[in-house]
Amino acid sequence: GVTGTEEKDVTLSICQSIRDALRGRRDIQVHLTRDRDTYIPLGSRVAFAHEKGADLFVSIHADAAPNHGAHGLSAYSRSDKASDDFARRLADRENQVDVVYGFDSSATDRQTAAILIDLARRHSHNASLTAKRRIIHGVGKRVTLLDNPMRSANFAVLRSPAVPSVLIETGFLTNPHDEKVLRNARSRAQLARYLADQIAPVTVDLREA
């Protein structure tokens, strides 16, 4: 971030608050891919969702933006062709994270895709779009959104044909305003409550959406 805020700390805090907000619900279970300061390879994150039989896989981020003036929350579903150049560059940057940490997720992605060929691909895509729209429409009433906040790109963590998935950019740490909001523990907890309300609304069955 502009003043040194680290994404890993921001996103873990938000995810833990989302889990806490949903903890009392009997109709759902929340599983985090990590609960401490550790790195999980991209392919392992997807595999974790498969192991848990997830109805929805949510990837929470607070990345650096290709354009440092960009700010606000946005949500992404998977598409081979990005919705715009901003989304493509963001996905390209995020997909390189395994290389930075010494992992190569490409083989895992291909293997997973081979095993899961034709398994609920259309349903997964439609459910992902539904979740993306619901999150943006619901949370957008309470927080600042990125211009054109519903986007798509070929993010590695969204490639499973079997598990509906959405990637949420809670803001961009390269933007001073977003970083200020995301550095604040109270603001993060409030955002997490808004997200929890839309990720797992009481009246929606994600498998039927």
Q: pTM for the full model? A: 0.86
Within a domain: 206: no
pLDDT tens per residue across all 209 residues of the chain: 989 999 999 999 999 999 999 998 999 999 999 999 999 999 999 999 999 999 999 999 999 998 889 999 999 999 989 999 999 999 998 988 866 555 454 555 566 555 545 555 778 889 999 999 999 999 999 999 999 999 999 999 998 878 999 999 999 999 999 999 999 999 999 999 999 999 999 765 555 54
Within a domain: 140: yes
Within a domain: 205: no
Q: Quote the number of domains for the chain.
A: 1
- Domain range for 52 is 7-199
Within a domain: 208: no
Within a domain: 178: yes
CA distances from 188 to 10, 11, 16, 156, 179 (A): 8, 9, 10, 26, 11
- Residue 136 belongs to domain with CATH number: 3.40.630.40
